[in-house]
Structure 1
Amino acid sequence: MKNQDIKKSIHKLLNFAGITVNGSNPYDIQVKNDRFYQRIIHEPALGLGEAYMDNWWECRALDQFIAKVLCANLGQVLKKEWRITWNLLTAKLFNQQSSKRAFMVGQRHYDIGNDLYQGMLDKQMQYTCGYWKDATTLDQAQEAKLALVCRKLKLEPGMKVLELGCGFGGFAHYAATRYGVEVTGYTVSKEQVKFAEKLCKGLPVDIRLADYRTATGEYDRVLSIGLMEHVGYKNYGTYMKLTNRLLRDDGIALVHTIGRNDSRCACNSWTAKYIFPNGMLPSIAQLGKAMENQFVMEDWHNFGEDYDKTLMAWYENFRQVWPKLKDRYNDRFYRMWEYYLLSCAGGFRSRSMQLWQIVMTKQGTSAPCCRLV
C-alpha cells in the first residue's frame, strides 16, 4: 500500500472520530513527519507513542485526542497487525508476570528517581487514583482515598494488616498513625523501600523488598492498592488463593485496581515497553473467575472518572517541576512521560478504563461494612 493511500486512510479514520490532521482544534494533531502514517499502520499502539516521543507529531490537547480516538473505537480498525498477534501469542505461551520477572517493573519504573515522584505526586506519595467526591485538590483526593480504604476495611487498633504492593508507604503510614494498626508491606522497588522505611520510622510498620507471592503469616486485613495491574491474567487465581490463605476467617480483603471493559491476555505494547513492563489490566470476568470458591464479593465500587482528574493533576505537577528535573532526564523522557500521563487521562475520560475497589470476605458478613458511598 502506497504511503499516499495510507495517509488518506488515516485522515479518513481520524475524521470519523472528529479529528482533522493539521486542523485548528486543540485535539487535532499536527503531523511533522510523513513517516508517521506508515509507523502507526504497522505498529498502532507502539508506533503512535514512539512517533510522539520522536517528535513526529504534536497535539495541543493530547488527552482530548486520545479520548476521541478511543470513543470512536479506532483501535479496533488498526489492531490486526503482526506485533499484536505476536504479543498475544507470547502472553498465552509464557507467564509474563512470573516471579522471575517480578522485579522488572521496580527497576525500570518505580526506581527511576524519587525526585520525579515527589515532584509529581501528592504529599502522601500516592501513585494511584484519588477519590474526588468531595475533594478539590490532589492532596485532598488522595487523603480521601486512604480514608475510604480504611473505612471499608473497618480498621481497629491492634489489627495486623498486610499490604501487597505498598508503594512509597503512604497507606502504611496513614493506617498506622490514624488507626493504630500494624502494617506489613511488600514492594519490588528498592527506592520505594528506602522512602517508606524513612517515612514510617518509629511506627509499627515492616516494609519488605519481596514479591507479593512470598508473603506469609495470618492477618486481620489484606489489601492491595495498585498491585493487580502487575499480577497478570495467569496469576489472578494465585493472588486470590494467597489472599485467602493469609486472611483470618473473619477478616476483610480489599483490591484497588484499574480495570478493562473486556478480557485480554496481552499487554499494551507501548506501555509495556516504556512504562510498566509486563503490565496488564484485568476485567470483571477475569477477577470474578479468580474469586470463585475463594471469596464472597461484598462490594464493587467504580470511580474510574476520578482517575482522569488524578492524572491531569499529576501532569500539571510534572510540567511545573520539570525545570528542576530536566538536567537529570532528557527531552525524550519528557515527551514519553507526557504521553503516558495524558494518554492515560484520555483512556479514563473515554471510560475505556475503570478504577475499581473490591471488598471481599471469606465467609460473608451481615454488617454493611463496605457500602459507604
Structure 2
Amino acid sequence: MAHHHFESPQTGLLKSARKNNSPSILAEIAAHAEVQFNGDKPWDIQVNDDRFYRRVLTQGSLGFGESYMDKMWDCRALDVLFTRLLSADVEKKLGGWVKVRLVSEIIRQNLFNLQSRARAYQVGEKHYDAGNDIFEAMLDPTMSYSCGYWANADNLADAQLAKLDLVCRKLALQPGETVFEIGCGWGGFARYAAENYGVEVYGVTISKEQQKLAQQRCIGLPVTIDLKDYREVNGHFDKIVSIGMFEHVGPKNYSDYFDTASRLLSKDGLFLLHTIGSYETVFKVDAWIDRYIFPNGKLPSVKELGKVLDHRFVLEDWHNFGPDYDVTLLHWWQQFDQAWPTLAPHYDERFYRMWKYYLHACAGFFRSKKGQLWQLVLSKRGRPGVYRSVR
C-alpha cells in the first residue's frame, strides 16, 4: 500500500490542531499554494460559512467540493485556484488530516473491481445520462466530449474537427476499412470517419442516451451503434479506436481491455488509444469526482500503461497534448454558462455550481501538469514496415 500519500502534517499544524483550530490549520496548508482565505486576489477563497473549515478538514476534497456546491465559499478565479492547489500538492498535505477516509478509499479502489461487467453501466447512468440538453449546449457540433487539438485552431468547433482528423490520419484510414470504436459517445468520430474517410464503423456505448443520439446523428452512414460492453464484441476489424473511455476501465481490467483489442484487431491493423493520463501512479481517485462526476473512474500512469502493454502491443507512437485540455474545458464552461438561462428550469443552482466546480477543477488539473492527454498508436508485432508518426 502506498504510504507516501500520507505526509505527516507539520508539527506547527499539530499544535494548532490540539486547540482544534480548523481555520488556522487550513490557512497554513493553503499558504503553500499562496492562497488565502478572504484575501483580495482573484484566486483567494471567500468563506461564506465558517463550517467550511471543519468540513474540509474532516472530509478532504469531498468536503471542499460539496461545501462549494452548498455556497459555503466562492472564488473569482476557480481555475487559477485549482492550478495553485494542485501545483503545490496541497491534497497530500491535507492527507494527514483525512487519513482514515483515505485509507478506506484506497482499500475500496484497489481490493474491489469497481469496473466489473456488472458495474460497467454505472458511469453511463450517472454521468452521460445527465441529460443530452447539457452536452448539446456545452459541446461543439460534433458532440466531442474529449480534448480538442488546438495546434492550429482558435475555436472549439475547429479544435474538435482537428482532433477527429488527427485520429483518422494517425490510424491511416482507407476507404472500405472496418473500424471498431470502444466507447463511441454521441457518434462524433463514427460520423466524421464514415463521411470523410469512407470507412465502416461499429461503435459500442454503455449509455442509452448516447446510443439514441449517436444513431440519429449517423443515419444513412455505414455506422452501427450498439448498447454493449466492449468485452462482449466478436469479429475482426482493420482499425480500433477508443477516445476518452479508458479512464473508466480501471486497473483490474486493463489486461482484459488490451486482450480484447488484440483479439479484435487484424494482424496488420492499428489501434489508437486517446486517454487522460496521470503524471504519477495514484492509488485513490478524487472522492468528489468519484461521487458526483465519474463513479468508478481511474486515470492511468505511464508506468501502469507500460506494464500492461508489455508483450501485448508494439507502441508505435505516444503523443501528449495535455495543456490543450485546459483550453477545451474553459470553452465548455463558457458555452455551458451562456446556455444556463435555458437549462435553469430543468436543473437547480446546486447542479450549476457542481458543473462549474467540475470544469474549473479539471482545467487546473491539466494546467498544473498533473493531468496529461495522451494518444497512443499501437500495433501487433506482425505489422510490417515503419509507422510514420502524424502530428
Q: TM-score range by the shorter chain?
A: over 0.9
1:206 partner SS: strand
Q: Is the 8 A contact 1:126 1:142 kept in 2?
A: yes
Partner of 2:37: 21
Equivalences for 1:302-317 in 2 at 5 Å?
302-317=320-335
Partner of 1:215: 233
Q: Which amino acid aligns with 1:105?
A: V
Partner of 2:212: 194
Identify which of 340, 364, 371 aligns with 1:353: 371
Partner of 1:8: 24
Equivalences for 1:104-253 in 2 at 5 Å?
104-253=122-271
Offset at residue 82 of structure 1 (A): 1.4
2:157 partner SS: helix
Question: So what's the TM-score if we normalise by structure 2?
Answer: 0.93
Gaps of 5+ in 1: none
The whole-number CA distance in structure 1 between the counterparts of 2:145 and 2:300 is 18
Equivalences for 1:12-91 in 2 at 5 Å?
12-80=28-96, 81-91=99-109
Number of paired residues?
373
Q: Which amino acid aligns with 1:192?
A: Q
The whole-number CA distance in structure 1 between the counterparts of 2:64 and 2:19 is 16
Task: Kindly provide the CA deviation profile for residues 213-248 of structure 1, in whole angstroms up to 9, marking residues without a partner as x.
Answer: 111110000110011000001111111111011000
2:300 partner SS: coil
Partner of 2:344: 326
The whole-number CA distance in structure 2 between the counterparts of 1:366 and 1:59 is 55
Q: Is the 8 A contact 2:267 2:382 kept in 1?
A: no
Cα distance change on mapping 1:369 and 1:150 into 2, 3 Å: farther
Offset at residue 364 of structure 1 (A): 6.1
1:43 partner SS: helix
Partner of 2:3: none
Offset at residue 267 of structure 1 (A): 2.1
Q: Is the 8 A contact 1:164 1:186 kept in 2?
A: yes
2:64 partner SS: helix
Offset at residue 266 of structure 1 (A): 2.7
Cα distance change on mapping 1:364 and 1:138 into 2, 3 Å: farther
Q: Which amino acid aligns with 1:94?
A: F
Q: Is the 8 A contact 1:298 1:364 kept in 2?
A: no
Q: Which amino acid aligns with 2:243?
A: I
Question: So what's the TM-score if we normalise by structure 1?
Answer: 0.98
Among the aligned pairs, what percent are the same residue? 49
Q: Which amino acid aligns with 1:296?
A: V
Q: Cα RMSD between the aligned structures?
A: 1.2
Cα distance change on mapping 1:364 and 1:304 into 2, 3 Å: farther
1:294 aligns with 2:294: no
Q: Which amino acid aligns with 1:272?
A: D
Identify which of 337, 350, 357 aligns with 1:339: 357
Offset at residue 18 of structure 1 (A): 1.1
Partner of 1:268: 286
The whole-number CA distance in structure 1 between the counterparts of 2:307 and 2:235 is 25
Q: Which amino acid aligns with 2:71?
A: N
The whole-number CA distance in structure 1 between the counterparts of 2:385 and 2:192 is 24
Task: Kindly provide the CA deviation profile for residues 341-360 of structure 1, in whole angstroms up to 9, marking residues without a partner as x.
Answer: 00000110101100000000
The whole-number CA distance in structure 1 between the counterparts of 2:105 and 2:23 is 26
Q: Is the 8 A contact 1:153 1:369 kept in 2?
A: no
1:316 partner SS: helix
Offset at residue 370 of structure 1 (A): 4.7
2:350 partner SS: helix
Q: Is the 8 A contact 2:321 2:374 kept in 1?
A: yes
The whole-number CA distance in structure 2 between the counterparts of 1:173 and 1:135 is 21
2:21 partner SS: helix
The whole-number CA distance in structure 1 between the counterparts of 2:388 and 2:188 is 22
